[in-house]
């Protein structure tokens, strides 16, 4: 019979088996990454109609993440950012920030935006800000 690999036949078979196993692991991992949920998405109280044209939730999402993810962030900086989030004029805007935060950062360890904020409760200057945020979260049924 025609032997194309000669004495390296066992090595070639081993390499092929390793490559097949690696490909299977790669595609299973890629598939599992797509299956993961983005995090809870809340319904808009006014169906998004109370969001001003041109307003974007992403800058505040990034600001919230940066103050909560940073190790050396001043408590006053966290409180200012939480106040900015709390003072959004409409509930739709508040929910929009909640939703885009969960889409991007839910799987980064702490869960929903509410959980991230509550984890910061021992590092802010004014606990009342977090209490007020929790009241608004409860009113809007945000986890």
Hunting for tokens 């977090």 — which residue is that?
Answer: 130
Q: Please report the sign of the dihedral spanned by the C-alpha atoms of residue 45, residue 141, residue 139, residue 92.
A: negative
pLDDT one-digit tens code per residue, 92-122: 999 999 999 999 999 887 899 999 999 888 7
Reported as a single tens digit per residue, the pLDDT across 14-36 is 888 999 988 888 877 766 655 44
What CA–CA distance (Å, rounded) separates 137 from 113? 10
């Amino acid at each position: 019979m025609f032997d194309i690999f000669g004495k390296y036949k066992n090595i070639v078979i081993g390499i092929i088996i390793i490559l097949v196993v690696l490909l299977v692991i790669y595609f299973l991992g890629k598939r599992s990454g797509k299956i993961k949920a983005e995090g809870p998405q809340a319904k808009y109280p006014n169906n998004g109609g109370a969001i001003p044209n041109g307003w974007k939730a992403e800058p505040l999402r990034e600001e919230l993440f940066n103050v909560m993810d940073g190790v050396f962030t001043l408590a006053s900086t966290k409180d200012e950012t939480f106040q900015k989030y709390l003072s959004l004029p409409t509930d739709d805007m508040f929910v929009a920030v909640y939703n885009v935060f969960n889409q991007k950062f839910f799987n980064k360890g702490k869960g929903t935006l509410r959980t991230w904020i509550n984890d910061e409760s021992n590092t802010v200057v004014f606990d009342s800000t977090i209490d007020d945020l929790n009241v608004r979260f409860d009113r809007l049924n945000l986890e």
